[in-house]
Amino acid sequence: MNEQLKIVARLFLVGAVLLASRTPAAPLKTEVKKAALRRGAAVAPLPRDKASRSHAPYESGQCGVCHVNNDAANPGPIRHASVNEECYECHDDVRDVMARKYKHVPAEEACTDCHNAHNSAEPALLSQEMVELCLKCHAGIKNQIAKGKVQHDAITKDKKCSNCHNPHAANIERLLIALPFDLCVTCHSRDGMMSDDGKVMTNYKKWLEENKVWHDPVRAKDCSACHRTHAGDNFRLLVADYPAAFYAPYERKAYALCYGCHNDKVVAVEETTTLTGFRDGSRNLHFVHVNRERGRTCRACHEVHASKQDHHIRESVPYGKSGWQLKVGYTKLPNGGSCAKTCHDTKTYNNKTLTSSVPAKK
Amino acid sequence: MGPGRLVTLAAAGITGLAGGLLAAPARAEQDRLDRRVQIGDTVEDVQLATLGGGRDRLLAKGIKANVFVFFRPEQERSLDTLKELASCEKEFAGKPVRFVGVVSDSWPADQVRDLVREAGTRMPVLVDEGDALYGALGIRLHPVIGIVDARRKLAAFEPFRQINYCERVKVRIRFLLGEVSEAEIARVDEPARSTTRTDDGVARRHLNFARMLHRIKQEDKALEEIQKSLAIAPSAAALALQGEILAATGKCPEALLAFEGALKIEPANPVALDGRKSCGR
């Protein structure tokens, strides 16, 4: 007995060390409980009054379609050793689906991990409500949804999780049905959609049709590069901090969203001849605009999704409480550009001259 | 930029977004604005100091795919990308593919070493003094992966993607190795929609269910399921099974109609041909 206790203690110690040495999960990745939680759970028929949907063979009393006996009183075991092979006898289209590259492990292992083969109160004969069912294993997503200040309606409306994911298998990572953008515009291509904070949301199909210079993640149909898709703490479900206001004091952390890809040195260094074309000589004009106590945030000059002008420069900026639009007046020039009198007097920059235009410090 | 390349770039842009919901913008023009080195341009080789203390080249000779990645510490996406490339290194081991990392000299060497160690990559890491190479190539983002072909032409330029990033990079390397066609690149860039329920699939389910019912001698119910299948998507298989069941229940005139229907869709359908014989034709 003592020997057994020692072995258990050693195993516990090894487990504890392994757990302690694990790198904390990155923010965008979430914990998944790999064990199939429904394995061995009841798949017996629900009482008729509790079920709103029935599987056709069960409803018609043809137990022998799936079981060895066509006798409701004594159906016996199913005809195949594998549950999935049993299901594929009729659902052979799902066998084709399961040939896709990215497979959902429970779907590979046993259809009954998620479906009740007899009847159910849920669509698609799910054994319980879809979100609850998915979150039983996807604990990280559950945590995000429980704690996130901003929730994505896509999780709770229409087809819920399967608005975006194929719970069986997909050609795209994360079991996505299509590339993120193609999924997002399913909803975000409507006029008059309102956010929870009462703001009108952009019709992105229309916006992108009207503005042909697209931000790279948009071109790549990769909305999730910048937006969380389940829930989050930042406005507009942004994956990281981004100043909500037109003016903000410069702080690297506040621009974490943009610096997820862009080089923070574009703003942080006063002089450069390599990091940006928005410079006069070597004087970094991003630094001039942003890196100050009352700095102009990225959105003061740039559209984040799409614009009509090069470098995602916006045509106008909202001014004052009424949101009056003030033209930016940017013109691209062979060696730089100019901004007409708007926020300041007309100014031109030339990035081909390599001398600094910063007045020498005395 | 010559007119030929403009056409190629425009075509590439249109191909890349073909099938998408929205019309393609002037993608080639956008790409041109985003960086100085364009797809198809020659990438000049440079020799830089390495993290290990020696010197190494950006591009190696005799290699079909030189893959470089610009990355930086303190960025989750750089770490993720290096980890994915570490697995790529193993996948392409023994093939004429070379991976190299490039990092700005503004980052402390120890911090870069820690990142590379955590990612588990074995690629040499070049130190870009004063971001000179970053500026010369006109790169604006981290991480970004460039792939250069055997003629030293830039074959691909891939900024970070949250979804299918590694797939996009790998298929482009495989293309340079001659392992896949351009069609495969298009398939990875615009994957087929991954739905489960299709009309054809539902029709097949009804037909298969009919087969199961036929097996347990529930012929009337089987015929009902066949009707459901035919209502969604008429098929030779459904009509042939319908004929088979009707023939088995002594309804040869109706069975012959079903067999003829099956043979119209699939003239060599063996069940229908045999069934027709069994009904005396």
pLDDT tens per residue across span B25-51: 444 444 544 567 889 999 999 999 999
Is residue A19 in some structural domain? Answer: no
Kindly state whether B134 is in contact with chain A, defined as any CB-CB distance less than 8 angstroms: yes
Q: Are A58 and A83 in a shared domain?
A: yes
What is the SS3 assignment for B191? coil
pLDDT tens-digit readout, A191-242? 988 887 788 899 999 999 999 999 989 988 999 999 999 999 988 899 999 8
State the smallest CA–CA distance between residue A361 and chain B in angstroms: 22
Is residue A288 in some structural domain? Answer: yes
Please indicate whether residue B101 or residue A5 has the higher confidence score (pLDDT): B101
Q: Are A172 and A122 in a shared domain?
A: no
ipTM above 0.95, yes or no: no
pLDDT at B67 over 90: yes
pLDDT at B10: 33
pLDDT band at A1 (very low <50, low <70, confident <90, very high): very low
Q: Are A296 and A327 in a shared domain?
A: yes
pLDDT tens-digit readout, A277-292? 899 999 999 999 888 7
pLDDT band at A316 (very low <50, low <70, confident <90, very high): confident
The total of other beta-carbon atoms located within 10 Å of residue A25's CB is 10
Domains along chain B with CATH numbers = 1-34 (no CATH), 35-189 (3.40.30.10), 199-278 (1.25.40.10)
What does the alpha-carbon distance between residue B137 and residue B140 come to, in Å, rounded to a whole number? 9
User: Cβ separation of B209 and A27 shorter than 8 Å?
Assistant: no
Is residue A20 in some structural domain? Answer: no
Q: Are A224 and A263 in a shared domain?
A: no
Q: Are A96 and A168 in a shared domain?
A: no
pLDDT at A341: 80
**Which CA distances in Å does A61 have to A66, B216, B220?**
11, 12, 14
Q: Are A127 and A205 in a shared domain?
A: no
pLDDT tens-digit readout, A251-265? 888 888 998 888 888
What is the SS3 assignment for B69? strand
Please indicate whether residue B120 or residue A326 has the higher confidence score (pLDDT): B120
Last residue of a domain, one of A213, A237, A261: A237
Is residue A4 in some structural domain? Answer: no
Q: Are A202 and A256 in a shared domain?
A: no
Of A231, A164, A162, nearest to A196 (Cα)? Answer: A231
What residue spans of chain A are helical by DSSP H? 2-21, 56-59, 83-88, 92-97, 105-109, 130-137, 139-147, 180-187, 204-210, 216-219, 265-268, 285-290, 298-301
pLDDT tens-digit readout, A333-355? 888 999 888 788 889 999 887 65
The total of other beta-carbon atoms located within 10 Å of residue A341's CB is 10
What residue of B is the nearest CA neighbor of A208? B22
Q: Are A195 and A281 in a shared domain?
A: no
Give the B window 36-65 contacts with A, CB below 8 Å: none
**Range B173-200 average pLDDT:** 95
pLDDT at B34: 53
Q: Are A278 and A334 in a shared domain?
A: yes
pLDDT at B80 over 90: yes
pLDDT at B1: 35
Which domain covers residue A342, as residue numbers? 252-350
Is residue A269 in some structural domain? Answer: yes
Of B21, B22, B27, B25, nearest to B6 (Cα)? Answer: B27
pLDDT at A41: 53
Supply the mean pLDDT for chain A: 84
Ranges A321-330, B64-73, B81-90: which has the least confidence: A321-330
Question: Which of A63, A115, A126, A179 should we substitute to test contact with B (largest number of B Cβ atoms within 10 Å)?
Answer: A179
Last residue of a domain, one of A208, A237, A266: A237
Is residue A35 in some structural domain? Answer: no
Q: Are A177 and A202 in a shared domain?
A: yes
Is residue A244 in some structural domain? Answer: no
Supply the mean pLDDT for chain B: 88
Q: Are A105 and A164 in a shared domain?
A: no
State the smallest CA–CA distance between residue A294 and chain B in angstroms: 25
pLDDT tens-digit readout, A2-47? 555 455 445 444 444 333 333 333 345 666 665 555 554 568 899 9
Q: Are A114 and A197 in a shared domain?
A: no
pLDDT at A249: 81
Contacts for A111 with CB less than 8 Å, ≥ 6 apart: A83, A84, A87, A94, A117
Two tokens at B200?
A: 């054809």
State the smallest CA–CA distance between residue A73 and chain B in angstroms: 17
pLDDT at A358: 54
Is residue A141 in some structural domain? Answer: no
Give the A window 192-211 contacts with B, CB below 8 Å: 205, 208-209
Q: CA B12, B16, B21: angle at the middle one, nearest 5?
A: 140
pLDDT at B280 over 90: no
Q: Which amino acid is at B152?
A: R
pLDDT at B127: 98
What does the alpha-carbon distance between residue B156 and residue A354 come to, in Å, rounded to a whole number? 30
- Which chain A residues have a beta carbon less than 8 Å from that of B161? 217, 220, 222, 225
pLDDT at B201: 95
pLDDT at B18 over 60: no
Q: How many domains does chain A have?
A: 3
Two tokens at A352?
A: 């081909």
pLDDT at A290: 86
